[in-house]
Every structure is written in structure tokens, then in C-alpha cells.
Amino acid sequence: MIFELKTAELKSIAQSKTDALVILVPNDFKASRDALSGLIQDVSQAANFQESAGKVVSLWKPAQVDVRRLVLVSCATSQPKHMRQAVAAALGALKATQPKQVTIQLPTAGHNALTAAMQAASDATYVYTATKPSAKPSGIKRVVLTLPTAQAVKDAKTEFAYAQALIAGVDKAKEWANLPANHATPSVLAKAAQSLARHSKIRCEVLGPKEIDKLGMGAFAAVSQGSAEPARFIVLHYQGAAKTKAPTVLVGKGITFDTGGISIKPAAGMDEMKFDMCGAASVLGTFEALAHLQPAINVVGLIPTCENMPSGTAIKPGDVVYSMDGQSIEILNTDAEGRLILCDALTYAKRFKPQAVIDIATLTGACVVSLGAVRSGLFSPSDDLAQALLKAGEASQDLCWRLPLDDEYAEGLKSNFADVANVAGRDGGAITAAKFLQRFVGDMNWAHLDIAGSAWKSGASKGATGRPVGLLLHYLVHQSSASPARKAA
């Protein structure tokens, strides 16, 4: 989709050449003497627009404008949440008519409002077509966003560029997460990462089973040994600053399909386990966005990727394996495999001496029970890092919530036969999983994002959400005041 940003007052926009005109109406809307303003005032009062954001009234060829379809939608305020709700509702109302060009009149370009509006437009028009020839792509090919003054447009250009980069990243994360597991094997995922190296400042290295074994990544290798698909360890580098500047490391869980292994999952809903690589997809999406923005930071992306399959060579409950840092791990449940591949990736991350390391994983069903689909689970022993990620989530509307890491939660991970077990009891499952990972972090400044509830939707709207690319990108571009996207949020 093509986005444009233009200047247009409400009076002049009535004569705009567009297939559909969407006007966001805030609670403090003040009507002028022109006919369109009067219509907006009458409709907003009759429809009780001030009650909430997202109320829609659609009009066909109204006399006040030179367009076939006019959509008036309440946006309450210019807060990103309200802007997102309003644009999503308006484009939902236009879905049946499929106009080629939509013009959206924004009341303001307030703090993150433009980004929220553009992201909502992109989400509302996204259609998965990669393996579905019968799917019809969205008919909306161009979205023109207008602001009332030339100064407002000038001030919003940096944020406009940021939003375009974010959309490119979120779309990439969605596409790779939505692909069926036979179309997104570890080898194919590695090729997707390598394709990012066509961008300046990005390079990619892919390690295979021999290199993984040589590194001593016994936990990672153990998960992959039941599958005919060879594991891959992907290392992405984005260098936008001097080599001496410590990078932020992103570690994305890349289980391209999770049967649960010998501890096999129930058949119902197992198709959704293609989404168990959404952490990896979010790293790919974040690097895509970085390629567009070119911020003055350094970022490393680590993606351990494999399948978790049951077979004669698969790991078994009771097996003991050794991690890259030499810890022995008793496998009590082969369906707790994500933490096994992540622990070796976290050990590998230490070589970069990062200023921060953030792992992203669809790790536990317990996190879904705790937080549902609204917020990702956030774990970190660092108050500063946790607060920075929480603020990034609020600003990007890609929300997270901090959960505890008390030492007592690790008691259930004790083993009679190894240094640590890979699972504890049911209680506090998201926390005990995080405590397992913490054992491999050392003194790194670390945070863990459990995105099991936020990374995809089930039911009629089944599909990947692209989260938490928004949160990660916002956090990253604020690590350097020299970033070109610094003013965007």
C-alpha cells in the first residue's frame, strides 16, 4: 500500500478527488460556516460521537462533498489508542466497497497519532495471499493522510517515515509467521534472514548443525534432533553506529513447528503451532524496519530455529542434555523446548558484550492465562530496562506488563539428576520459564518478552499480529539521540 501525507483544510477537502473520504471527528470539533462542517456537527450530535471512539456513520454521495462515499468516525481525542480505533472502524466500514484510494482527514498530528492511524490502516487492509490463490488482496491501494496546515505536515514528516518503516517491519513479521510450517522451515527462514543483507548496514551469518555442535549448543541441538529438517542458527548484524558502541541483542525463538515432541500436544489447535516462531518473525520484522530507518545504533539479532518433532531420534522425558555454558538440564517435558533453544542463544549473546539483550518468545500458555491477548509478558531484573520497555509499549500501543522474578519461583526447577530441570509445576508457569532463562544470562542487562498471547489471534480472525515489532522498534530508536526517528515518538 502507498501512503501519502498532504495538507488540506476541511473546507478544501470537500472537493478532493478520491474514492472515499474519511473524516476523524474529535470531541472538541468546532464547526465552521462551510456546509461540510455543518454536516459533521449534525451527524456527530445525532450519533452521540462523544460517547466513544470508533462510532461510524457512512454517507453515499452527500451534497456537501464531491466524493461517492463519506465516512465520519468519532475519534474522541488525538491519543494513539483513539486514532487507531477510529481508523480501524472507518476502513472496516469501507471493506465491502473496496475503494482504490482513501483520503483520511486527521484532526491533528499529536504525539504518535499519525503512526497509530497509519498502522491501523495497514492492519485493516492486510490480506494473507502467499499460499491462498483464491484470496483477494485489499482493493485499497493508496491512503492519503491530510493535516490542516502545512506546518503540521512539515512537523509530521519524521514520524511519517518512522510509521512507514514500522509498517514494513510488522508486515514482514506477519507474513513469515502466517506461512505454513512446510513453507517456512528453518532453512527457508535462514534464507529470509539472508535476504535482509541486501540492505546497507545489515549482514547475516547462518550456522548449520555442525557449527551448532561445535559451539557446544547441546540444548538447542537436542530439540532439533527429532526432526528431518536441519536446525539453523541465524546471526543478523545491523551496524548504524561505530563498531565500538555496544549493541542491543534481540533473541527470537524460531520453532517453525511445535508438536510438543514426545510430550505431544493435543491435536485440536495444533495447526497454530506454526506460530511458535513469532519471536523469530518479530526479529526479522524489526531488522526490516531498521533497514528503512537507518538509526545510529547497533543491533544484533539471534534466531535459533528448528522443529520440535516426535521420532525415534527425539529427546525423551528424563534425558539430560548440556547447554552451551556447561549446565546440565533434565528434560521433564519435551514441550518446554523454547527455553532450551533460547538458553544457548543467550549464552552466545554474551560474546557481543551488549548494552541490553531482549529475548522474544511464544514461550508459555501460562502467560496467555495470565494476560490474555492484550499485553505481552515482560520479565527483567533491571528496573531501568523494564521501564524503558514498558514506556515503549505504551507509546507504540504494543503493550506489555511486568511480572516478578523472585528467587523462590526457581525452587520448582531443581532436579535430582541435573543442574536444573526444564519445567517446574503448573503454578506460575510463565515465571518459572523466565527463571530458567535467567540462569543463562549472567551479568547481562536482560529482559524476556513472552508473546504467547499477543503474537497471533485464533478463531475467525486467525493470524499473526506482527507484535512486538512496534515495541521493539520504539525501544531501539530511542537508544540514540542521533537516530533519524528520534522525534517520532
User: Can you list the positions of beta strands (E) in 264-326?
Assistant: 298-308, 320-322
What does the alpha-carbon distance between residue 240 and residue 112 come to, in Å, rounded to a whole number?
A: 24
Catalytic, 265? Answer yes
Cα–Cα distances (Å) from 442 to 2, 10, 447, in that order, read 45, 58, 12
User: Can you list the positions of beta strands (E) in 18-78?
Assistant: 20-26, 56-60, 69-76
Angle at 446 between CA 445 and CA 447, to 5 degrees: 140
**Cβ-based neighbours of 227, under 8 Å, separated by 6 or more:** 306, 307, 308, 309, 311
**Cβ-based neighbours of 154, under 8 Å, separated by 6 or more:** none
- Is the CB of residue 288 less than 8 Å from the CB of residue 172? yes
Q: Give the closest residue to 182 by CA, choosing from 63, 271, 300.
A: 271
Q: 137: how many CB neighbours lie within 10 A of its CB? A: 13
Cα–Cα distances (Å) from 397 to 182, 361, 431, in that order, read 32, 19, 24
Q: Which of 172, 232, 339, 467 is catalytic?
A: 339
What does the alpha-carbon distance between residue 166 and residue 151 come to, in Å, rounded to a whole number?
A: 24
Peptide bond into 468 cis (omega under 30): yes
Q: Which of 265, 350, 391, 402 is catalytic?
A: 265
User: Which residue, chain included where needed, has cell 506482527?
Assistant: 466
Angle at 326 between CA 301 and CA 431, to 5 degrees: 65
The residues carrying an active-site annotation are 265, 339
